[in-house]
Structure 1
Amino acid sequence: MLRRTGEWSARHFVVVLAAWVVALGALMGLNHAYGGEYSDNYALPGTQSQDGLDVLRAHEPAAGGYSAQVVLYDGAKPLTGVSDQISSAVASLKKLPHVLNATDPLPAPGSTPPSPPPGTPNVGPLSTDGKTAYITVRFDVQPGTLGDDYLTGVDSAVEPLRAAGVQVEYGGSLGELARPEADDRVSEAIGFGVAIVVLIIGFGSLIAAVLPLVTALVAAICGLAVLGLLASVWTFATVSPTLATMIGIGVGIDYALFLITRHRQLLMNGQDPVMAAGLATATSGRAVLVSGCTVIIALSGLWVSGLSFIGLLGLAATSTVVTAVAGALTLVPAMLGLIGRRIDRLHIGTPVAETDPTPGDAPGETRPGAAQPGEVQPGEVHGTWHRYALRVERRPWWFLSAGVAVLAILSIPLFSIQLGHIGDGADPESFTDRRAFDLMSSAFGPGSNGPLTLVIDQTSVPAADRSALASQAQKALTGVPDAALITPLTPTSDGDVLIATAYSVAAPQDESTTSLTEHLSDDVLPQAVEGTTAATYVTGTTAAQVDFLEIVSGRLLLIIAVVVALAFLVILIVFRGPLVALKAAVLNLLSIAASYGVVVAVFQWGWGGPALGVNGDVPIESYVPMMMFAIVFGLSMDYEIFLLSRVHEAWLRTGDAKGSVAHALEITARVITCAALIMVSVFAAFVLNDSIVIKMMGLGLAASVLIDATVARLLLVPAVMTLLGKWAWWTPRWLDRILPHVDTEGEGELAQAGTNGAAGPRRTP
C-alpha cells in the first residue's frame, strides 16, 4: 500500500500538491474563524486547593474564584493623590464580565489606614510610603481562558490611572494573559538556516536540501491549524503551539530526509523517478510510519499521569507528528515526482547516501565480482565510519566505559533536581507580570506575589463551640516557620467559614514556599481544629501549583515505566530480540538522565541561565521532565530503528554479528549525524523564546538528541552490540511464535523490485 501511495503521489503530483495547498488554506481559515485560545489551567478536581475554592464559592462568592493583581506605582507622589481615579478604576473593573469582586487598596475617606503589627512586614494593599498599591480582582474563571480581547476592557478600566501618570501592571494570571503572543519566527528562521546548511553539505544539492524544509513547514502549519481547532474544544497550555512547532518541524525534516536520501540512492542505481519515489515510500516510508507511531504511542503515555493538562500537551505534540508523517508519505513523493531527475541540479559538494556506489561503477551498474554492501573483498577500501567501527570492535569495553562515564558525569546534577513552578520573577522585564512581581516584591516582600488562602469550614461545628475553635485556630497560626505573616481569621458573612491569608517569606517559586504550603495543609491547620469536626483547606493559585507538583512528582515514575515498557515492546516486535530491546531501553534511560542533568545545571544551578535570559536560578518546571521523557523516548526510536535495522538485516544475511555492526554504522552514521544536527538546531533555536518553560524544553530536547545520536547511537550501541554478538538476536522459541513479523524497512519491496538500492544486502534464505 505504501509503495502504491508513493508511486501514485509521484505520478499525480499536481493533484497531491493541489490537495495539500487546499488543505493548508482550509485549515488555516477554519482555525482563524473557529480556533480556540490557549491558557494554563491547573484546576485539579479532588485536591485540597480545589475543594477549598469550592467551599469559598459556596459561602463567600466574592472571596472565592481566581485572584489577580492590578499593581499601581507612582514614584513621584503618594497614590492618595489619585484616589478618585483609583475608585473609578475599581468600579469599572467590577463591571467587567466574570469579575466577582475588586478591592480598593486605599482606606475610606476620613479613616486611618491599618498598620501592620510591630515587627511584621506590610503585605499591602498599600505600601508604607503610599507609592505602591494593588487592586485584588477575583474572577469566576481562570483569567487566562478569557482571551486577549478581554484585556481591552481591563485596559479601559485603568486608563484614567495611566493618564494621571501612574504605572499600572498586571500580576498573576491576569499578567500571564497580557503577555505578548509567542513569536517563534526567529527561532524557526535560525533552525531552518542551520538545517539548510547541514542539508546542503549532506545532500550536495540545493534542490534536495530545500525539499525537506518545505514539506516539513507545510505539514507543521497544517498540524498547528488542527491544534487550534482542537483548542476550541479542550483547554491547551500556553506552551502547546510552540511545543508542537518544535516537534513538528524537527520530525518533519528528519522524516523527509530519510525518504529523499533513499530516493536519491535509487536514482543513482538507475531507477525511474516515479518507481524510486514508490520504493522510497515503501522502505524508508515504512520506517517513518513505525517511528511516527512510536512517537505518538510515547506521547499518549502521558495520559497515564491522570492530568488532562499533561495529556493535552502530549496531544498537542501529536497533532504535528501526525501531519509530519502524512507529509512524508504523500507530499514528499509528490515533490520528488515534480522534480524528477533534476533533484541534483545546483549541485554543491559531495552528496550523502545510505551507501556509496563502489568507486568506478556507473549508477545502476555493478562490476562483476564487486562487493555487495557489507561484504569485504580483497583490496576494498572502506570509509572513516567503517574504520571507526573496527576500532570499537577491537576494544568494545573501552568505548563502553568511556560512553557510560560521559553520561554519568552529565547526569550528576540530576540527583539535586528540584521540581516546582517557575514564577513571574524569572520572566523578561518586558512582561507586565514580571514588572508587577518586582513592584510587589520591593514594596511588600516576595511572598506577596503568591498569597495562600487558609479556609476552615466549621459548618458541622455547633454554634456554641465556634468561638473556642476560632481562638484555638488563631493560636495555632502564630509563629509558623517560613510565614512572613498570617492575617487574623475572619468569618464569612454566613459565619460558617473562617478565612485567613498566609504570606511566605520567599517568592511563590521558592522551595520554602512549597514547604510552607505543605506544612500548613498537612500539620498546622489539622492541629488547629483538632478535637472538632471542622475541615481545613489551603487554596489559591500557589496552593494549586503545589498540588499539581505533588501529583506530577508522584506519577513521574509511572510515566517512565509505561513509556519504557512501550519502547521495549516496539523494539522487541520489530527486531525480535529481548536483549537488544533491553539494551535500547537502558541506553535511552541513560541518555535522558544525562539530558536532565544538563537542564538542571543550566537552569536550577544557574550555569548559563542568565545568558539565556533567565532571571536567577529557577526550579525545573514540574511537567518538563515528564514531557521530555515521552518526546525523547519516541524520537530516539527514529535513530534506533534506522541503525538496528541495518545491523539486523546484515546479520540475517551473513551471520557475522561484529561485521554487521561495522557495516550498519558505515552506511547510517552520516545520515544519522545530519538528521541529528538538524533536529538539535531546530530545538536549540527555541531557547530564544521568552517562555522559560520553552527554553527548558528546547535545551533539554536538543541535549537529548545530541547525546542520543552521538554518545549513545554512535558509541554505546556499537560497543554493546559487539559485546552481545549473536546473543543480541536470540529469541526464545515460545516468544518467536507469538511475536508478529514486521518488515520495518520494507526489504521485501526492494527484493520484488530486483534492486538492493540503498538498503544494503538483501536477505537470503
Structure 2
Amino acid sequence: MSLPKSPRTSGATGPGPKGALRRLGEWCARHFVIVIVLWLVALAGLQFLQRTYGGDYSDNFALPGSQSQQGSDVLKKHEPKAGGYSSTVVLHDAAKPLTGFGGQINSAVTSLEKLPEVLSAQSPLPPPGTSAPKPPAGTPDVGPLSTDARTAYITVRFSVQPSTLGSGYLTGVDRAVQPLRSAGVDVEYGGPLGELARPKANDKVSELIGFGVAIVVLLAGFGSVLAAGVPLVTALIGVICGLGALGLLAAAFTFATVSPTLATMIGLGVGIDYALFLITRHRQNLMDGRDPVTAAGLAVSTSGRAVLVSGCTVIIALTGLSVSGVSFIAKLGVAAAVTVVSAVLGALTLVPALLGLIGRRMDRFRVRKPIAESDAGTGAGADAGAGAGADGQDAVAHGTWHRYAQRVERRPWWFLAGGVIVVAVLAVPVFSIQLGHIGDGADPKSFTDRRAFDLMSSAFGPGSNGPLTLVIDQSAVPQADRSALASQAGKALTQVPGAATITPLKATSDGDVLTGTAYSTQAPQNADTTDLTNRLVDDILPQAVRGTEAHGYVTGTTAAQVDFLDIVAERLPLIIAVVVALAFLIILIVFRGLLVALKAAVLNVLSIAASYGVVVAVFQWGWGGPALGVSGKVPIESYVPMMMFAIVFGLSMDYEIFLLSRVHEAWLRTADAKAGVAHALEITARVITCAALIMVSVFAAFIISDNIVVKMLGLGLAVSVLIDATVVRLLLVPAVMTLLGPAAWWTPRWLDRILPHVSTEGEDPRAAASPGPRGGEQKRGG
C-alpha cells in the first residue's frame, strides 16, 4: 500500500495562490458594510414578499395511482356527491336530544352545502315523519345519530382535501354552525376540518429555549460574548431568510404543515454549527498574529471548505428523499434543504463580514480566558501560537482529550465493545416498530379534533373516526349479472375479522357502482385498523368480485393513509440504501480511504438504529410519552423514520468530516495513524461537543410543540446528535480508527485514479512549513 503525495512538501514555505473561497472570505471581511446591508435587504425583502404573496401549508396525502385514489375517482365519476374528501361536524348536547334542534341542524346543513368546494352535507336527522333506523342486534351504533340522540355528526364531502383550503375557510364553516352554537349545542370539527382548525404552530418558545441554551454553551466553551453572538445572529438571519423563501415556494407548491418547523429546526442547528466551525478557526488565526481580513479569508478557505462539503452533503441527503416517489415526503426534504442553503450562504459570506466588522475585538468582552481550537500544551518554546505548528499540531499535547485518546489507543477493543453495547441496547425497541398515522385521539384536549374524536368514540365506537368506504365498480358487469354480484359481495362482507360492522351495499344513482362503509373495532391509528384495510383490499373485495369484471376498492381518508403507510414502508429500505451508499461514496471521495468510508456507513446505520429505538420506546411503548404531552401510546408516524435517516445522515457528516479531516491531515503530515487520531480528537473534541450540545438543545426544545410529529422529530434528532457526538465520535470512531491503523487510508490504485479529488480543509498556510516524513513522500507501510 502506498500513500498519495503529501500536500505539504518539505520545500513548502508559505501559502500558495489564493483560492476562490479565500478570496470570497477576504472580500466579505474587507467590505463588511456591503455584505451586511445586502443580507438585511434580503431579509426585509423576503419577509415582505412572503407576507404579501406567500402561501399556506397543508397536509395532502394524495397518492395518484393508489387503489384508494382509484376508488375515489370511480365514486366521484358515478356519484359526485358521495365522492371527494369527507369530514365531520360533530354535535353533542348532554341535556336533551338533538332531535329537538331540527331547525338549527337543517339550517347548518343548508349553509354548509353552499360553501365553496362542498359537494354535499348529510343531515344526521331522519326525514320528517320517520324514525332513525336502529342498528341490527349485536352491532355497534355507527350513527349518524346515536341511540340516545345526544350525539350526532354531519358528514361534509369536499371536492378537494379540506386541509388545503386554508384556515380562512373556517370562517364560513363557523358561520354555518353558529345557530347550533347559539342554541347551546356543542359543535366540534373532526377529521380534515379539525386539522384545519388546529392552532398554528408557535415555535417561538422552542426557538428561545434553543437560543438560550446555545448562548450558555457558547459562553462556557469560548468565553467571548462576541464569539457567542456571531453564530446566533447569522443562524437567525439565515433561518428567517430561508423561511421567507419557503413561504414563497408554498404559494406554488403544497408543503406539509410541519415544513416550516422542520426547516427552522434544521436551519438553526446547522447555521450555528457552521458559524461555530469558522469562528473557531478565525480566532486561532488571530492568535497567530494575522490581521482580521486575512484571518477571516483563511477560515473560509479551510473550515469554510468543510462547511461547503458538509452543507452539500446535507442538501443531497434531503433532496434524496425524492427517491421515495412520494411528493409529500420529497417536499419535506426540499423545505429543510432551503434553510440549509441559507445557512451555508450565511456561513461563507455573513460570518466573515461580521468578523471583519469585529476586527481584533473578538475577545474584548469575555467571561473567561479565551481559547481556540486546542487545549493542548504548546510545548517548549511555543508561546501564543508560535512554534512548529501554529495550531499546536507539532507541539507536545497533554490535554484531557489527548490523554483520553491515549486510553482508547491502549484498549481499543474495550471502547469498541462498550460503544457497540450502548448502541445495541438503545436499538432493541426498533425491532417492534409500528409505522402508522397518528390520529386525532393523541392531540391535546384543547384541540377541536380531539374533542370530536372523543365524542365520536364514546357514542359510536372508536372505529367511527375512520370509516372505510367500500367501492365496487360493476360498470363492466352485464345488467343481468349484477344482482348475483351484489349477493356474492354481501356474503363476502359478513363477519369480516377486525370490522365492527359493515353497512349493506347500495347502488349509486346510475347503478354502476356499489358502495358501503366498514367500521373498524379500533381507532384509525391502531394497527388493527391498518390490518382491516389491507384485508379488505387484498382478500375480501377480490373474493367479493371473483368471477366477474368488477373491481373493488377501499377509499376515504383512513384508506389513503394506509396506502401512504404501505408505500413508505416499502420504499424505506431504498432510502436507507441510497443514503448509506451516498455516505460511503462521499467519505471515499473526500478521504481516499476504503475502510474509512465503510466505517462511516456502518456507524451511520448503528447510530440511527439507536435513535429509532429511543423514539419507539418513548412514543410507541409509552415510556415517557405522557410526560411529553402525548395521550397514550401512538404509532411512529410513517414518514418520520425516512426523514430522520436523511437528516441525521447529513448532520452526522458535519462531525464526521470535521473530525476525519483532522485525522487525515495529521496522518498525511506524520504517517502515524494512532497519533493522528489522538491529535484530531484533542483539537476537535471541544468544538464538536459545543456544537452537538447546541444542536441537541435546539432539537430538544421542539419537544414542547403541540404537534406530535414535531415532538417525534425533535426527540429523534436530539437523541441522534447526542449519540453521534458521544458514543460514535468518542468511543466507536477512535477505537475503529486505532484498530484499522494505516489500513484505514488504503484505496486501490485503480479506484484512486477514477475518483474525483475533493479537499475538505483546503491548504492551511499555518502548517505549510511543516515537512512531512521522507521529504514529503510518505509511506504507510504494509
- TM score, norm. by length of structure 2: 0.95
Q: Partner letter of residue 328 of structure 1?
A: A
Aligned to 1:453: 469
Distance 2:558 2:181 in 1: 29
Aligned to 1:569: 585
Distance 2:306 2:654 in 1: 8
Unaligned segments of structure 2, at least 5 residues: 1-19, 778-782
Distance 1:365 1:175 in 2: 62
Aligned to 1:386: 402
- 2:740 maps to which of 707, 724, 727: 724
- 1:646 maps to which of 654, 657, 662: 662
Distance 1:361 1:222 in 2: 48
SS at match of 2:554: strand
SS at match of 1:125: coil
Distance 2:383 2:328 in 1: 53
1:207–1:344: 8 Å Cα contact kept in structure 2? yes
1:283–1:749: 8 Å Cα contact kept in structure 2? no
SS at match of 2:760: coil
Q: Partner letter of residue 642 of structure 2?
A: M
- Distance of aligned partners of 1:539 and 1:30 in 2 relative to their CA distance in 1, 3 Å threshold: same
Give the deviation of 1:755 after TM superposition: 10
Give the deviation of 1:749 after TM superposition: 5.3
> 1:32-51 to 2 correspondence within 5 Å?
32-51=51-70
> 1:402-413 to 2 correspondence within 5 Å?
402-413=418-429
Aligned to 2:692: 676
Give the deviation of 1:13 after TM superposition: 0.9
Distance 2:397 2:179 in 1: 80
Q: Partner letter of residue 513 of structure 1?
A: T
**Is 1:594 aligned to 2:610, yes or no?**
yes
- Distance of aligned partners of 1:64 and 1:381 in 2 relative to their CA distance in 1, 3 Å threshold: closer
Aligned to 1:607: 623
- 2:224 maps to which of 193, 205, 212: 205
- Distance of aligned partners of 1:363 and 1:2 in 2 relative to their CA distance in 1, 3 Å threshold: farther
- 2:532 maps to which of 496, 505, 516: 516
- 1:495 maps to which of 511, 516, 520: 511
Aligned to 1:465: 481
Distance 1:386 1:586 in 2: 26
Distance 1:96 1:750 in 2: 70
Q: Partner letter of residue 390 of structure 1?
A: Q
Aligned to 1:7: 26
SS at match of 2:187: strand
1:10–1:274: 8 Å Cα contact kept in structure 2? yes
Aligned to 1:81: 100
- TM score, norm. by length of structure 1: 0.97
Q: Partner letter of residue 451 of structure 2?
A: R
CA displacement, residues 115-161 of structure 1 (integer Å, 9 cap, x when unaligned)? 11111111111111111110000000001111111111011101111
> 1:193-592 to 2 correspondence within 5 Å?
193-356=212-375, 358=378, 366-367=386-387, 373-375=392-394, 380=396, 382-592=398-608
**Is 1:122 aligned to 2:141, yes or no?**
yes
- Distance of aligned partners of 1:352 and 1:487 in 2 relative to their CA distance in 1, 3 Å threshold: farther
Distance 2:517 2:32 in 1: 66
1:355–1:667: 8 Å Cα contact kept in structure 2? yes
> 1:141-156 to 2 correspondence within 5 Å?
141-156=160-175
Q: Partner letter of residue 506 of structure 2?
A: T
Distance 1:251 1:582 in 2: 25
Aligned to 1:739: 755
- Distance of aligned partners of 1:28 and 1:363 in 2 relative to their CA distance in 1, 3 Å threshold: farther
**Is 1:187 aligned to 2:206, yes or no?**
yes
SS at match of 1:149: helix
SS at match of 1:532: coil
Distance 2:88 2:359 in 1: 61
**Is 1:667 aligned to 2:683, yes or no?**
yes
Distance 2:675 2:301 in 1: 27
Distance 1:32 1:127 in 2: 45
Aligned to 2:7: none
Distance 1:740 1:750 in 2: 26
Distance 1:179 1:266 in 2: 51
Distance 1:54 1:351 in 2: 67
CA displacement, residues 575-613 of structure 1 (integer Å, 9 cap, x when unaligned)? 000100000000111000000000000000000000000
Give the deviation of 1:253 after TM superposition: 0.3
2:389–2:770: 8 Å Cα contact kept in structure 1? no
2:385–2:391: 8 Å Cα contact kept in structure 1? no
1:425–1:437: 8 Å Cα contact kept in structure 2? yes
- Distance of aligned partners of 1:598 and 1:99 in 2 relative to their CA distance in 1, 3 Å threshold: same
Distance 2:672 2:393 in 1: 10
CA displacement, residues 199-235 of structure 1 (integer Å, 9 cap, x when unaligned)? 0001101111111111000000100111111111111
**Is 1:696 aligned to 2:712, yes or no?**
yes
SS at match of 1:192: helix
Distance 2:381 2:309 in 1: 34
Distance 2:466 2:204 in 1: 33
SS at match of 2:500: strand
2:444–2:631: 8 Å Cα contact kept in structure 1? yes
Distance 2:185 2:363 in 1: 63
- Distance of aligned partners of 1:681 and 1:372 in 2 relative to their CA distance in 1, 3 Å threshold: closer
Distance 1:363 1:130 in 2: 86
Query: How many residues in Structure 1 have an aligned counterpart in Structure 2?
Result: 757
Distance 2:752 2:260 in 1: 43
1:269–1:363: 8 Å Cα contact kept in structure 2? no
- Distance of aligned partners of 1:451 and 1:530 in 2 relative to their CA distance in 1, 3 Å threshold: same
CA displacement, residues 603-647 of structure 1 (integer Å, 9 cap, x when unaligned)? 000000000000110000010000000000011110000001111
- 2:674 maps to which of 658, 661, 670: 658
SS at match of 1:351: coil
Give the deviation of 1:445 after TM superposition: 0.4
**Is 1:25 aligned to 2:44, yes or no?**
yes
Give the deviation of 1:764 after TM superposition: 4.4
SS at match of 1:744: coil
Q: Partner letter of residue 90 of structure 1?
A: V
- Distance of aligned partners of 1:318 and 1:371 in 2 relative to their CA distance in 1, 3 Å threshold: closer
1:632–1:705: 8 Å Cα contact kept in structure 2? yes
CA displacement, residues 87-114 of structure 1 (integer Å, 9 cap, x when unaligned)? 1010000000000000011112221111
Q: Which runs of 4+ in 1 moved over 6 A?
A: 359-363, 369-372
- Distance of aligned partners of 1:14 and 1:363 in 2 relative to their CA distance in 1, 3 Å threshold: farther
Distance 1:640 1:354 in 2: 17
